Amino acid sequence: MAVSNRTTSTYGEIEDQVHLRVIKWLNAVLPGETLIHHSPNEGKRHINFKTKLKRMGTQSGWPDLELFVPDSAFLPGVCPRPIFLELKRTKGGRLSESQTALSERFIGLGMHWHCCNSARAVRAALLPLVTIQEGEHSDSLLEDFKC
């Protein structure tokens, strides 16, 4: 995935920056056995390649990150299921129609699905679900973005 050269916009931290900060934070706090996956659906592609991806099962609106956390890391009473995270820029990021429709399907299936615009928002989404191991390094990744 190519990362934009832009560092800020009138909308605060751009989505790529949010994504990279979230990945660093997740790697710092989740158990080492956790699998984190990003399906690169964003960006401009030739129509033939988009058609091929769709035929191969790529779905428009798929969440940015899929977390597969060991069952033992889930808090008591929480069903151990995959966690899906849709990431948005810090200000003004909105779900597309396809993202909204898929979020409803995930939630209807009993999956853990969250839309977040910062590492701090991801932390708030995960705290009721899984044990996280925070420290000084992980705390620094939660600092709010300053324009």
List, in order of start, the domains of the chain with CATH numbers: 15-42+53-137 (3.40.1350.10)
Q: Which residue would you say has higher pLDDT here, 47 or 81? A: 81
Task: Give 96's contacts (C-beta < 8 A, 6+ positions apart).
Answer: 60, 61
Q: List the strands of the sheet with 65-68, edge to edge.
A: 35-38, 65-68, 83-87, 112-116
**The model's pTM:** 0.80
Closest CA relative to residue 18, chosen from 123, 129, 126: 123
- The 10s digit of each residue's pLDDT in 66-76 is 999 999 999 99
Q: Is 56 helix (H, G, I), strand (E, B) or coil?
A: coil
- The 10s digit of each residue's pLDDT in 90-117 is 777 888 898 999 999 999 999 999 999 9
CA 12 to CA 56: how far, in whole Å?
Answer: 35
Under the phi-then-psi rule, with left for phi > 0, alpha for psi from -120 to 50, and beta for the rest, what region is 111? beta
User: Using 50, 70 and 90 to split pLDDT, how confident is the model at 57?
Assistant: low
Q: Which residue would you say has higher pLDDT here, 48 or 114? A: 114
User: Which residue matches tokens 């710092």?
Assistant: 28
How confident is the model at residue 56, as a pLDDT?
A: 66
CA 44 to CA 35: how far, in whole Å?
Answer: 27
How confident is the model at residue 39, as a pLDDT?
A: 82
User: Using 50, 70 and 90 to split pLDDT, how confident is the model at 10?
Assistant: very low
CA 59 to CA 32: how far, in whole Å?
Answer: 29
